């Protein structure tokens, strides 16, 4: 791994900090503005919906104009949007801030394209694992920082997020060189910039089925990620600081698995077999979580979940990258991020519809649904494995 890879990983880490600081408080922050559970789900969805529209365009533009300028624009949007959210006095301003952050939120897909630029096919799984670990490390320090910011106010967490994103922006401007060696041909219309590729991407050999699988994986996962916070607060009687501590635990386990775990497992097992087992454990964990309404039990199942869940996205990203042409890495990764974004928009709304505040039992329904649907996605992945398994899968 060269210098540019490690600079990108540092930027990814700092960017993940600005993101993970917010995760424990978005639900509670929405409540502070008088939003109900269903309305609060749209705080998650509007961000993801905007990402869905914007990310493939950003990915395509990064193939055409280079990675660095698009990363700068994306990070600048995060700086502005987080500041707006932290100083918001009304719910509409908060929603506008989340929309803006989503529109410019393609920084992760651009960073992933840089990882593809700076790693060989043999090292790519390890590269995506290390990059994923930077987000895991963000899940350790981000919630810890959030715990301190919450002592001031929930809005203070957004302001701290803005400052940290500014740091990532400055590092990108002054230390990251351009990594794209061959720029794509000029696009003739807006559809060539990415929107039309959302449909065309589905028929790309080997890539299309992976986009579908990852969209479904993302939908089931975001049903869980939205639903577990109201479950944790309303059923297990916890608070925002407890949520931050659980995310800290998730982050610690993710770092371990995405650094050492991915490297060890890919030497002994195929990428596809690792993906299957991780999805099975994820499905089982979702179903087990709400069975016993106990904090200790919930944490125990969460540990099992987090250990194997952290393998899913690095493996999927590697499979997509290995099956894509070299001059299409940014486009394909952007498409993948776009489909994940729309899944992130769909999942919280589904969870919000299932939850009814008048009946506390309904807080468990989205968790059971996420488990059942994840198992069905696993079956789809198994039955279609011949369509996306690389000819030379790293061991």
DSSP 327: G
Total domains, the chain? 1
| Domain-embedded: residue 393 | no
Q: Which residues pair with 356 in a beta bridge?
A: 359
Residue 349 structural domain? 3-176+190-387
Name the maximum alpha-carbon separation found in the chain. 58
Q: What predicted TM-score, i.e. pTM, was given to this entire model?
A: 0.73
CATH no. for residue 30? 1.20.1250.20
| Domain-embedded: residue 184 | no
| Domain-embedded: residue 253 | yes
DSSP 257: I
Among 274, 333, 340, 307, which residue's Cα sits nearest to residue 102?
Answer: 340
| Domain-embedded: residue 354 | yes
pLDDT at 330: 67
For residue 62, the number of C-alpha atoms closer than 13 Å in the C-beta half-sphere is 35
pLDDT at 25: 86
Among 312, 154, 297, 151, which residue's Cα sits nearest to residue 231?
Answer: 297
Mind listing the pLDDT tens digit of every residue in the chain (395 residues)?
A: 677 778 777 777 877 777 778 878 888 898 899 888 888 888 888 888 887 777 777 877 888 888 888 889 888 988 999 999 999 999 999 999 999 988 887 677 788 778 877 777 777 777 777 777 777 677 778 888 888 898 899 899 999 989 988 988 898 899 888 877 766 555 545 445 455 667 777 888 888 899 999 999 999 999 998 888 889 888 898 887 888 888 888 878 877 887 788 778 888 888 999 999 999 999 999 999 999 999 999 989 988 998 898 888 888 888 888 887 766 776 787 788 778 878 888 888 898 888 866 567 788 999 999 999 999 999 999 999 988 887 655 44
| Domain-embedded: residue 392 | no
What is the token pair recorded at 76? 């600048």
CA quadruple 51, 53, 54, 57: dihedral sign: positive
| Domain-embedded: residue 288 | yes
| Domain-embedded: residue 103 | yes
How many angstroms separate the Cα of 27 from the Cα of each of 43, 281, 348, 367? 8, 26, 11, 17
How far from each other are the two terminal CA atoms of the chain, in whole angstroms?
Answer: 18
Helix axes 37-65, 107-117, angle to 10 degrees: 40
pLDDT at 183: 63
Contact 107, 74 (CB under 8 A): yes
| Domain-embedded: residue 183 | no
The per-residue pLDDT for range 224-268, each reduced to its tens digit, is 988 888 898 888 988 878 888 888 888 788 778 877 887 788 888
């Amino acid at each position: 791994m060269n210098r540019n890879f490690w600079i990108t990983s540092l930027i990814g880490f700092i960017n993940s900090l600005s993101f993970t600081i917010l995760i424990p408080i978005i639900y509670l922050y929405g409540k502070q503005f008088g939003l109900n559970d269903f309305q609060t789900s749209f705080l998650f969805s509007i961000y993801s919906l905007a990402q869905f529209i914007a990310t493939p365009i950003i990915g395509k533009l990064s193939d055409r104009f280079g990675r660095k300028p698009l990363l700068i624009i994306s990070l600048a949007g995060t700086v502005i949007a987080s500041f707006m959210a932290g100083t918001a006095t009304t719910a509409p301003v908060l929603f506008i801030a989340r929309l803006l952050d989503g529109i410019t939120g393609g920084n992760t897909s651009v960073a992933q394209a840089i990882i593809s630029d700076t790693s060989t096919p043999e090292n790519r799984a390890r590269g995506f694992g290390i990059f994923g670990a930077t987000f895991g490390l963000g899940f350790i320090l981000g919630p810890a920082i959030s715990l301190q910011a919450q002592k001031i106010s929930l809005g203070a967490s957004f302001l701290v997020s803005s400052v940290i994103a500014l740091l990532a922006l400055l590092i990108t401007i002054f230390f990251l060189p351009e990594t794209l060696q061959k720029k794509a041909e000029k696009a003739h219309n807006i559809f060539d910039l990415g929107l039309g590729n959302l449909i065309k991407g589905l028929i790309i050999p080997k890539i299309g089925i992976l986009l579908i699988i990852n969209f479904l994986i993302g939908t089931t996962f975001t049903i869980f990620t939205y639903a577990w916070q109201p479950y944790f607060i309303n059923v297990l009687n916890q608070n925002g600081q407890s949520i931050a501590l659980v995310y800290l635990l998730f982050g610690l386990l993710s770092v371990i698995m995405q650094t050492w775990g991915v490297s060890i497992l890919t030497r002994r097992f195929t990428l596809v077999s690792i993906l299957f087992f991780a999805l099975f454990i994820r499905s089982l964990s979702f179903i087990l979580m709400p069975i016993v309404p106990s904090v200790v039990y919930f944490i125990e199942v969460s540990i099992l979940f987090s250990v194997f869940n952290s393998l899913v996205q690095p493996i999927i990203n590697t499979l997509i990258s290995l099956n894509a042409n070299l001059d299409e890495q940014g486009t394909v990764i952007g498409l993948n991020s776009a489909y994940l974004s729309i899944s992130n928009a769909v999942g919280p709304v589904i969870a919000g519809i299932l939850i009814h505040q008048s009946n506390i039992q309904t807080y468990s329904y989205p968790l059971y649904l996420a488990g059942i649907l994840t198992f069905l996605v696993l079956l789809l992945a198994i039955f279609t494995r011949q369509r996306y398994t690389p000819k030379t899968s790293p061991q």
